[in-house]
């Protein structure tokens, strides 16, 4: 939901009927992964995607029916190799897409959890007894949940959602209980992780392009620079947080998690080194520092001399970015973001 949240809010969720289409399972090669979403209004506005080509058109048509009937539908798209490109499923991929009316109370609850930046799981009934299809529980990490499935299934579904939350992976699963008889209940357990964050140390020219790219990719962006002329709001109009302080003070204001990437770009040891000394002991999934091999070797030695163990210093990606022959600030920003994505996907 995070990738279509802005559009849903702009459309006016309280006054506009909206259908939500979610990829709940894939086989073979599919353009979008499990959890990908598309939202559709009755007047034809669309945001997000579940695949490509004609699949989007077919989903939009079903969404119109769902908005009229208020009955969710589970769609299956299987495509032979010779027609795959025509409908956006390269290499004969197959996907299941669940289309449902957006539930206002559930949406508002999820929006609040997204603002808190805590992970949670959404358990949705996508197949089973008709009266519970589309029912959902939103389960928080501490075990509390919002919503109701019915048929005495809430406890069992919440336990499944907590187990999925522990693994961090969205998946589809089936259960049969005495309450449902011989009819299995299919659940889609969707894990919603905190938004990734990019912390940029140094308001240099590369940082302007880098934060712009990161925002496009859904990252929260933070720029740290004690130099007012570099770390100014005029230079960084679109970053989420701008901190005009030295690193030791700035990082007191930032929560670094396993969803955080940190890039150090100033070329100034008075700023870069203290910042790196802090983040190297953090759970950040990526740490990179700008500079040539010679510059990085000198930086590495300074950090070792400061008492930081060799294996921790080795966490730094330096020289920063993938080697794509980048020369301009914008190209260097692309190489850095590509390396961050590669590390994130691992």
Residue ranges per structural domain of the chain:
2-101, 104-192, 197-345
Residue of 307, 306, 308, 305 lying closest to 287 (CA atoms): 308
Give the distance from CA 208 to its chain's centroid: 22
The CATH number of domain 197-345 is 3.40.50.720: yes
Residue of 124, 145, 143 lying closest to 20 (CA atoms): 124
Residue of 278, 260, 168 lying closest to 214 (CA atoms): 260
For residue 261, give the H/E element and its range.
strand 260-264
Phi, psi of 282 (to 5 degrees): -100, 170
Which tokens sit at 281?
A: 């002991």
Q: Is 95 in a helix, a strand, or coil?
A: strand
Confidence of residue 299 (pLDDT cuts 50, 70, 90): very high
Is the per-residue pLDDT at 343 higher than 80? yes
- Out of 38-47, 113-122, 314-323, 333-342, pick the least confident: 113-122
Please tell me the predicted confidence (pLDDT) of residue 152: 86
Distance CA 237, CA 212 (A): 10
Sequence-separated (6 or more) residues with CB below 8 Å from residue 145 = 137, 138, 139, 154, 158, 161
Which tokens sit at 136?
A: 């959902």
Residue 137 bridge partners (DSSP) = 123, 147
| pLDDT 10s digits, 212-235 | 999 999 899 999 999 988 888 889
Which tokens sit at 140?
A: 């928080």
Is the per-residue pLDDT at 309 higher than 90? yes
Residue whose structure tokens are 């009937």: 69
Please tell me the predicted confidence (pLDDT) of residue 61: 92
| pLDDT 10s digits, 187-213 | 999 999 888 999 999 999 999 999 999
| pLDDT 10s digits, 157-181 | 999 999 998 888 899 988 887 776 6
Instruction: Report CA-CA distances (Å) from 185 to 22, 165, 172.
Output: 18, 19, 11
Neighbour tally for 319: CB within 10 Å: 17
- Out of 60-69, 109-118, 194-203, pick the least confident: 109-118
99 with 73: CB under 8 angstroms?
Answer: yes
Please tell me the predicted confidence (pLDDT) of residue 63: 94
């Amino acid at each position: 939901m995070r990738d279509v949240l802005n559009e849903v809010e702009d459309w006016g969720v309280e006054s506009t009927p909206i259908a939500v289409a979610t990829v709940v399972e894939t086989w073979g090669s599919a353009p979008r992964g499990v959890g990908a979403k598309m939202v559709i209004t009755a007047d034809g506005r669309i945001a997000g995607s579940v695949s490509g080509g004609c699949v989007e058109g077919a989903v939009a048509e079903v969404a119109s029916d769902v908005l009229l009937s208020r009955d969710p539908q589970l769609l299956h798209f299987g495509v032979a190799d010779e027609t795959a490109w025509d409908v956006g499923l390269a290499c004969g991929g197959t996907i299941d897409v669940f289309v449902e009316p957006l539930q206002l109370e559930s949406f508002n609850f999820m929006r609040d959890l997204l603002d808190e930046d805590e992970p949670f799981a959404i358990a949705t009934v996508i197949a089973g007894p008709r009266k519970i299809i589309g029912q959902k529980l939103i389960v928080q990490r501490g075990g509390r949940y919002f919503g109701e499935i019915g048929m005495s299934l809430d406890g069992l579904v919440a336990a499944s959602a907590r187990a999925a939350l522990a693994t961090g992976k969205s998946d589809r699963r089936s259960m049969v209980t005495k309450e449902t008889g011989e009819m299995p209940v299919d659940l889609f357990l969707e894990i919603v992780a905190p938004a990734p964050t990019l912390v940029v140390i140094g308001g240099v020219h590369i940082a302007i392009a880098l934060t712009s790219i990161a925002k496009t990719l859904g990252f929260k962006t933070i720029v740290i620079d004690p130099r007012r002329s570099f770390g100014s709001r005029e230079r960084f109009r679109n970053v989420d947080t701008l901190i005009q302080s030295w690193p030791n003070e700035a990082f007191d204001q930032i929560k670094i998690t396993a969803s955080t990437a940190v890039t150090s770009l100033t070329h100034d040891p008075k700023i870069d080194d203290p910042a790196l000394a802090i983040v190297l002991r953090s759970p950040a999934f990526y740490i990179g520092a700008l500079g040539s091999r010679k510059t990085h070797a000198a930086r590495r030695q300074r950090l070792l001399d400061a008492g930081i163990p060799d294996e921790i210093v080795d966490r730094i990606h330096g020289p920063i970015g993938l080697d794509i022959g980048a020369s301009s600030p914008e190209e260097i920003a692309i190489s850095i973001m590509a390396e961050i994505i590669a590390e994130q996907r691992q």
